[in-house]
């Protein structure tokens, strides 16, 4: 199989993985794959021209294709499986490549991240590493999307619903008493009450900082907490609980000026957010180091200096190998 054929198979598999089961297929993982090589996005763009053909297929046939061509998780077997399918039936493999749907580069099609039975978002925005994007929604609300972030937007007649799938975003909400503005982030739903607020998702850890007005955060168990300007809600998945703290509005949105601010947060959260900006990813050589808490400012442009100074602040050691840094305990 040629490199181009392999790329086309991967593009088709990614689309079906997101289409059939968006919860199991992280949009953030897709974004990393797309960023790895510009040719990956070109492959998506090519099959995108045949998207309508796939959408018009019988749902049962779409499910059959999904079972055959979309593995539940990426693995070395994915490419081998695709290669075997092509050898067994080259005509069928070619037909699949010609009819699989793809994605647009920034605002993905409404059909991209839906399940076969669920509603489709109006648009999905995906930013690249170290880049921000400003978006004006149909209702006039303004969204500043952080680096390596995926946001899905649905503007319905009864409510305005946003999904923060990964990363960070700042929302300046236009008032509309008839349609609540709700941001879903992992297990948490954040309802705006005439407000501006910042939401950051790091895995299942969520931080909601209010700069104007008031928000209400709820979780499936029914627990809810409200915060006003100058307050921050932290959701800690280990105990499924909310924690309310104070934060200045300037600190809450400092990331828009490329300053990452943290107050008593796990080092794992700090590094995960820093990695959204730097090309050389930072890892942990010791899980215990990830649980240490950190307070301070991190500038992505000065990552090397920050890593050098980190052992003076926390009981950690930083090692470098193959141009990558790893953090462990002393």
pLDDT value, residue 23: 46
Q: Which of 110-119, 171-180, 287-296 has the lowest mean pLDDT?
A: 110-119
Task: Answer whether residue 87 shows pLDDT above 50.
Answer: no
Mean pLDDT computed over 123-151: 94
pLDDT value, residue 47: 52
Task: Answer whether residue 82 shows pLDDT above 60.
Answer: no
Q: How confident is the model at residue 40 (pLDDT cuts 50, 70, 90)?
A: confident
Give percent of the chain above pLDDT 90.
Answer: 52
Residue 263: closest CA among 232, 302, 230, 225: 232
- Chain-centroid distance, C-alpha 3: 28
Q: Rounded to an integer, what distance in angstroms lies between the CA atom of residue 300 and that of residue 123? A: 29
pLDDT higher for 195 or 121?
195
Task: Answer whether residue 86 shows pLDDT above 60.
Answer: no
Residue 306: closest CA among 254, 264, 262: 262
Residue 198: closest CA among 249, 149, 242, 268: 249
Domains of the chain (ranges plus CATH)? 3-105 (no CATH), 123-252 (2.60.120.1440), 258-329 (3.55.50.30)
Mean pLDDT computed over 236-245: 89
Task: Answer whether residue 117 shows pLDDT above 80.
Answer: no
Sign of CA dihedral 37, 38, 39, 42: positive
Residue 74's contacts (CB-CB under 8 Å, 6 or more residues apart) are 29
Give percent of the chain above pLDDT 70.
Answer: 70
Tokens of 255: 């990331």
* pLDDT tens-digit map of 257-304: 999 999 999 999 999 999 999 988 999 999 999 999 999 999 999 999
pLDDT value, residue 116: 31
In sequence order, the β-bridge partners of residue 162 are: 153, 183
Relative to beta strand 324-329, strand 316-321 is antiparallel
Q: Which of 15-19, 196-200, 237-241, 296-300 has the lowest mean pLDDT?
A: 15-19
Mean pLDDT computed over 34-59: 58
User: Are residues 205 and 233 in contact, defined by beta-carbon separation less than 8 angstroms?
Assistant: no
Residue 98's contacts (CB-CB under 8 Å, 6 or more residues apart) are 47, 50, 53
pLDDT value, residue 18: 61
């Amino acid at each position: 199989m040629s490199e181009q054929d392999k790329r086309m198979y991967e593009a088709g598999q990614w689309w079906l993985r997101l289409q059939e089961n968006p919860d199991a297929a992280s949009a953030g993982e897709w974004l990393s794959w797309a960023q790895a090589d510009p040719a990956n996005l070109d492959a998506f763009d090519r099959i995108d021209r045949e998207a309508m053909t796939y959408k018009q297929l019988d749902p049962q046939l779409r499910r059959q294709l999904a079972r055959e061509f979309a593995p539940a998780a990426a693995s070395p077997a994915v490419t081998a499986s695709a290669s075997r399918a092509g050898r067994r039936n080259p005509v069928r493999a070619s037909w699949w490549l010609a009819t699989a749907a793809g994605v647009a580069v920034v605002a993905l099609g409404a059909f991209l991240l839906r399940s076969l039975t669920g509603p489709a978002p109006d648009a999905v925005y995906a930013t690249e590493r170290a880049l921000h994007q400003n978006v004006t929604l149909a209702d006039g609300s303004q969204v500043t999307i952080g680096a390596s972030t995926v946001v899905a937007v649905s503007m319905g007649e009864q409510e305005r619903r946003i999904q923060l799938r990964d990363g960070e975003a700042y929302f300046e909400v236009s008032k509309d008493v008839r349609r609540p503005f709700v941001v879903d982030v992992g297990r948490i739903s954040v309802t705006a009450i005439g407000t501006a607020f910042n939401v950051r998702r790091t895995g299942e850890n969520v931080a909601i900082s209010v700069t104007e007005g008031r928000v209400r955060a709820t979780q499936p168990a029914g627990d809810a907490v409200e915060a006003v300007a100058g307050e921050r809600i932290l959701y800690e998945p280990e105990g499924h609980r909310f924690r309310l703290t104070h934060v200045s509005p300037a600190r809450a949105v400092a990331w828009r000026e490329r300053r990452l601010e943290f107050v008593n947060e796990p080092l794992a959260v700090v590094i995960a957010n820093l990695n959204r900006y730097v090309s050389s990813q930072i890892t942990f050589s010791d899980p215990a180091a990830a649980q240490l808490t950190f307070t301070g400012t991190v500038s992505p442009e000065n990552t090397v200096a920050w890593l050098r100074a980190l052992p003076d602040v926390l009981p950690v050691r930083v090692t470098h190998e193959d141009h990558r840094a790893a953090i462990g305990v002393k």
